[in-house]
Amino acid sequence: MKKTCFLVFIFMVCAVDGLAQESGNVAYGGNKKPKNSGVALGNLYSLETKDTVASTYLEANIIINAKADEYVAVFGVSQEGPTLADCNAKMDSQLREFTGGLEALGISRNDLFVDFIAQNKVYDFGTSGSTAREKLSGFEVKKNVAVHYKDRTMLEKIEAIGARASIYDLIKVDYLITDSGAIRARLFEEAMKVIRKKEADYNKLLDAKVKPVAIYQEKYNKFAPSEMYSSYVAYEAGSVDSSTRDMRVVEKRKSRTFYFDPLDSGEFDSVINPVTIEPVVQFTLFLKVKYQVGQ
């Protein structure tokens, strides 16, 4: 008599951080950004009841930390004046000084783009006796300047040139990867190595034969450094009991700071380029392969 057996593979990946590190001021906590993991990376393991499906699945969760090849810094510029002509004249003078300084730095006109953002009226209040009446006081023009460069050390020099032109608003820095196709290929290759290793381990452990029949799920994701910063405020404060006397408490402003906080490598089966000392672009791949259990 033949017996038919269902073979269900259940596996868990446990991440143990075996290296201690000094916590720094992050121990104070603060506004920590939510981590994009689990379902956001394509991992449906926690939502799928494996016992109810006839097939067996093996999964791989891979991440690569990639240094950017090029960068685009975006600066915000605004000017106010009694007339639009006055706003535009001051804006043009400011942008000429900024772009001229960038050209002296070796950044060509082809690596600059001025994006017109807004042109709006500005209102203020004028008082007459006990009446405050709103009136038109002038206009405001806003533009963004995108600066493309390849050497990441150029940013401080670009900011210094901007400061001389009274441009202080660095809106964002985009980190660009020129060959994302090669990164996807590397992720897929590494994911298949992980799945093949799991396949061999489970066949050896359970003396069973399974064979792949289809790619069940393939999900790529990208996380730019601008998405991966957390903030905190570090301080110890005293207390004042003002309930027993009329006392006004004036608190001192506390400084908030930010730090690059990438995805936790413990969530992944394999990490390519694990050691990073600078902000990187993180690419992830979640790969699930459907297997058929041999009879």
**Exposed, middle or buried, 17 (CB in 10 Å: 0-12/13-18/19+)?**
exposed
Give the pLDDT confidence score for residue 28 in this predicted structure.
53
Extents of the domains making up the chain: 24-68+178-236+246-293, 70-176
Give the pLDDT confidence score for residue 23 in this predicted structure.
44
Q: Rounded distance, CA 25 to CA 30, Å?
A: 10
CATH superfamily of 70-176: Protein of unknown function (DUF541), domain 2 (3.30.70.2970)
pLDDT along the chain (295 residues), means of 10: 38 35 48 52 51 70 96 95 94 95 94 95 91 94 96 94 95 94 96 94 80 88 91 86 74 89 91 92 95 72
Give the pLDDT confidence score for residue 71 in this predicted structure.
96
Strand partners, 230: 259
Give the pLDDT confidence score for residue 251 in this predicted structure.
87
Give the pLDDT confidence score for residue 240 in this predicted structure.
79
CA atoms within 13 A on the CB side of 30: 18
Give me the residue label for tokens 């993991």: 37
**Exposed, middle or buried, 41 (CB in 10 Å: 0-12/13-18/19+)?**
buried
Closest CA to 262 of 244, 280, 236: 280
Give the pLDDT confidence score for residue 184 in this predicted structure.
96
Dihedral sign (CA 80, 83, 87, 90): negative
> Which H helix or E strand runs over 57?
strand 56-66
Give the pLDDT confidence score for residue 15 in this predicted structure.
36
Closest CA to 273 of 284, 257, 260, 287: 284
